[in-house]
């Protein structure tokens, strides 16, 4: 009995870190109804399938580490390529071309993607993305440099080098966050300054048009 208990504890001790490591790469925050659009530009001599100009991803259902989506891709010839019911799984690395990663990755982590292979998180920075200031993670794969929004895990920028071309993708719009609006106090201050400046210009104009005459 004592030997069995010891073996059980030993197995538990060995397995728990493995479970913890696997679970550490499954955190997601996107929800049904979220969407994101990308502008895409291509240089070189791309094949028609690589000559992409726009893309959109709509989240339909989220279950655990699985994200069911509808995706759309517009090609340079105007063709709209629809891929309904595309399922990503951040736990198994089925994330397309780096479309989304777990939100709890940190600098130095290596995340495996079925399509891209190992992706190394290389840094973090703050960028203006779709009208808002966001903290992003930078990552490198064999042929692609990525940036993902740290809070949501969605890809916000990517540069991919292929044999025939380079593809640049960047977020154009999303409902995952709201564009930053100017502070109302700053707006009112600008309005007040503009009014004062206008009054000053009018007064100067009046003074120049009707100069004050000196008394003899």
pLDDT tens digits, the chain, 216 residues: what are they? Answer: 443 333 333 333 333 333 333 344 678 999 999 999 999 999 999 999 999 999 999 999 999 999 999 999 999 999 999 999 999 999 999 999 999 999 999 999 999 999 999 999 999 999 999 999 999 999 999 999 999 999 999 999 999 999 999 999 999 999 999 987 554 445 445 566 667 666 766 666 656 666 555 555
pLDDT of residue 22: 37
Query: What is the full DSSP assignment across the chain?
Result: -HHHHHHHHHHHHHHHHHHHHHHTT------TT-EEEEEEEEEE---GGG-EEEEEEEEEEEETTEEEEEEEEEETTS-EEEEEEEEEETTTTB-TTTTB--TT--TT-EEEETTTEEEEEEEEEEEEETTEEEEEEEEE-SSEEEEEETTT-BEEEEEEE-SSEEEEEEEEEESSSPPPPPPHHHHHHHHHHHHHHHHHHHHHHHHHHSPPPPP-
**pTM score over 0.75:** no
pLDDT of residue 209: 61
pLDDT of residue 20: 36
**Could you give phi then psi for residue 128, rounded to 5 degrees?**
-85, 120
pLDDT of residue 199: 74
pLDDT of residue 17: 36
pLDDT of residue 15: 36
pLDDT of residue 94: 96
pLDDT of residue 180: 75
Query: For residue 177, how many C-alpha atoms fall within 13 Å in the half-sphere facing its CB?
Result: 21
pLDDT of residue 27: 87
């Amino acid at each position: 009995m004592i030997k069995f208990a010891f073996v059980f504890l030993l197995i538990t001790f060995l397995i728990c870190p493995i479970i913890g490591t696997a679970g550490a790469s499954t955190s997601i925050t996107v929800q049904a109804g979220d969407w994101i659009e990308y502008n895409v530009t291509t240089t070189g001599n791309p094949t028609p399938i690589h000559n992409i100009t726009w893309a959109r991803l709509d989240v339909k259902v989220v279950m655990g580490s699985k994200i069911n989506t509808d995706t759309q891709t517009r090609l340079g010839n105007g063709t709209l390529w629809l891929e309904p019911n595309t399922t990503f799984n951040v736990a198994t690395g089925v994330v397309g071309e780096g479309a989304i990663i777990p939100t709890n990755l940190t600098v130095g982590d290596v995340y495996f993607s079925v399509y891209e292979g190992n992706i190394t998180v290389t840094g973090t920075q703050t960028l203006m993305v779709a009208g808002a200031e966001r903290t992003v993670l930078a990552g490198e794969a064999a042929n692609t440099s990525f940036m993902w929004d740290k809070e949501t895990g969605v890809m916000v920028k990517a540069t991919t080098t292929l044999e025939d071309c380079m593809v640049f993708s960047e977020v154009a719009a999303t409902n995952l966050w709201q564009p930053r609006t100017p502070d109302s106090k700053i707006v009112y201050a600008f309005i007040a300054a503009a009014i004062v400046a206008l009054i000053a210009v009018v007064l100067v104009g009046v003074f120049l048009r009707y100069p004050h005459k000196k008394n003899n």
